[in-house]
Every structure is written in C-alpha cells, then in structure tokens.
Amino acid sequence: MNRKPLLIDTDPGIDDAIALAIILHSKEYDVRLITSTAGNVGIDKTTKNILKLLKFWNLDIPVAKGCARPLVRPEIDASGVHGDSGMDGYDFEEPDERLLLDVPAAVAIHQKIQESPDKVTMMAIGPLTNIALWLRLYPEDKEKVEEFVIMGGSMGRGNSGVLAEYNCHYDPEAAKILFDSGLPVVMMGLDVGLQALVYPEDSAKIKTFGRTGEMIYGLLQRYRGKGLKQGLKMYDACASAYLLKPELFGYVNAYVDVETSGAPPPRQRSRSAKRAPPSPFPGRMRWTPF
C-alpha cells in the first residue's frame, strides 16, 4: 500500500499524545514532519513532549519548533487539564534533540510540502498559529494540500468560554486565516470529542495494549484532573480517527467564519418571530425570539 504523506502540527497535550499514538502506527500514513505549537502548555514543553513520544516509540521523524504565543494575543494555558508538563501521568525518558530541525515550523512545513512529489495531507490538533504563518508566507503551497483536518471549533457550546473551543480561543486570528484560506478543511469540533468518551473500563482495556497501552493508561489517569469516572473527552484522537476511518462520522459542507472581536454572532429575526411579550420588569429583561 502507498502510504499517504502526512504533516502534523500539535501541542501535546494528553489527547494529542493519543492522537499521535494512533496515527504514527497506522499503515495508511507516512508522517513526514511533526511541528510543535504552544497551546496546552508552553512551546518548550510541547516540543519536548513530541520528542519524548518519538523516543518512546523509537521513531525518527523530523520535528520543528513553532510559535511560542498566539499571533496577537497573550498566551493562555491548559495545564489544569494536561498537567504541568502537558503530559503528566507517565515517567518518560529524557529525549535528546537529534530530531529537531534548525528551521521554524512554518518553514519546515513549506520544505516538506515542496520536497514531496505527491500532495500532502495535514492534521493540526492545537492552536493554528504555525499554520497561519505558513499560509501567509507560502500561499503557493496550498495547491499541494490534499486535505486539512483540524481539531478545533465547535458546533455548540465552548470549553474555553461559553462559545469558544480552546484551540480557536487560543489564537482566533490564526483560525480565521485557515478558514479563509480556501483549503479543504475538515473540522472535528468540540461537539465530536464530547461524544468520544473514555470510561474506566475502556482505560483498563487500553492498559492491556502493550507498553503504549500502559503509557496511555498512565496519562488517562491524570487527564482532566482525574475525571475518568465521568468519561474523558477524546478530542484530538477524533482527527486521527477521521483520517483512518472517515465513515465513522457524518459531515455537512458549511461556510465557517471565526469571530475575532469577541462579539456574539448577530441574531437573525425570522419573519414568523413573535413580538416580545411585555416585560414585568421594564428596562431590566430582554426577550429575543430566534
């Protein structure tokens, strides 16, 4: 089987580590580059976490370090969910930096795309800062991208504010650049990960899957503040699942915009909308049908 070239941008992150465990061991994809982005924790930690995972699996895949903060906003962090290291729960060996390229992520992405005779698939499971810079620097590369799958955004509620999903909330300007780019983006949003729950009995089964299973079992015990009993939401792994088994999901084609000013989306008043009933507290309550 001809393995498809795949480039990954990630901020490990416990669910990132699980997404990598799945896709790096697949027969279908040949991962040519992994780029780090700040997101769940700072850039030095996410870069180190990628190197730790590659050492754990004894894989020689080039790694390029990416942006340390969002394009225009101050950074936030999700160490409350993933632990101080970003991958708490397993005692990884210290990695060396042999696999680390001496060019930044956006440049490495460009180089890997241009050196590939075939179109590449891309998967981004963290904030989209590197991707936005790459698109601004090398828009000509878009022609060589077969498909772009992200974990980010939400069709409903948010997990980093009422409406915002963490990766898009971290760098909304970058997310806007990707969605406006015209690339064929497949969005595995928060609402998908909310349905992909891992319970204690699932983690016990995972533990039996050799040393990778034991490692992931350890991470799962710490993920989301030890919230295993309620079911752990597996966001980034859905992007890997999509690449391997797209038939697991349903899809709609949609125009997606990203709100960057912090304003709620304007509400559309339908013709049949009823008039608001008189308020018992004039001036204090609003009722807006939609």
* Interface residue list for ligand BDR (CB under 6 A): 13, 15-16, 40, 78, 81, 125-126, 151, 159, 165-167, 190, 235-236
Interface with Ca ion by CB under 5 A: which residues? 11, 13, 16, 125-126, 236
- For residue 82, the minimal CB distance to Ca ion (Å) is 9
Q: Which residue is nearest to ligand BDR (CB)?
A: 166
Question: What is the C-alpha to C-alpha distance for residues 240 and 20, in angstroms, rounded to an integer?
Answer: 8
Nearer to Ca ion, 87 or 106 (CB): 87
Nearer to ligand BDR, 150 or 177 (CB): 150
For 253: left if phi > 0, alpha if psi spans -120 to 50, otherwise beta; the answer is beta
Which of Ca ion, ligand BDR, none interacts with 159 (beta carbon under 5 to 8 A by kind)? Answer: ligand BDR
* Nearest approach, Cβ of residue 203 and Ca ion (Å): 19
User: Least distance (Å) from Ca ion to the CB of residue 52?
Assistant: 16
> Which one of ligand BDR, Ca ion, none is in contact with 81 (Cβ closer than 5 to 8 A by kind)?
ligand BDR
Which residue, 8 or 78, is less far from ligand BDR as judged by CB?
78
Q: Any residues with CB less than 8 A from the CB of 11 and at least 6 apart, and which?
A: 36, 37, 38, 39, 40, 41, 46, 86, 125, 126, 127
Element (H, E) at 217: helix 210-226
C-alpha count within 13 angstroms, C-beta hemisphere, residue 166: 21
Cβ contact 116:144 at 8 Å:
yes
Q: How far is the CB of 40 from Ca ion (least distance, A)?
A: 6
Cβ contacts of residue 78 below 8 Å, gap of 6+?
Answer: 13, 39, 40, 41, 166
Q: How far is the CB of 49 from ligand BDR (least distance, A)?
A: 11
CB closer to ligand BDR, 15 vs 171 = 15
To ligand BDR, the closest distance from the beta carbon of 25 in angstroms equals: 19
**Would residue 51 be called left, alpha or beta, if left means φ above 0 and alpha means ψ between -120 and 50 degrees?**
alpha
Q: Toward ligand BDR, which CB reaches closer, 95 or 126?
A: 126
Q: What angle (nearest 5°) sits at the alpha carbon of residue 141, between those of residues 187 and 130?
A: 55
Residue with smaller CB distance to Ca ion, 22 or 116: 22
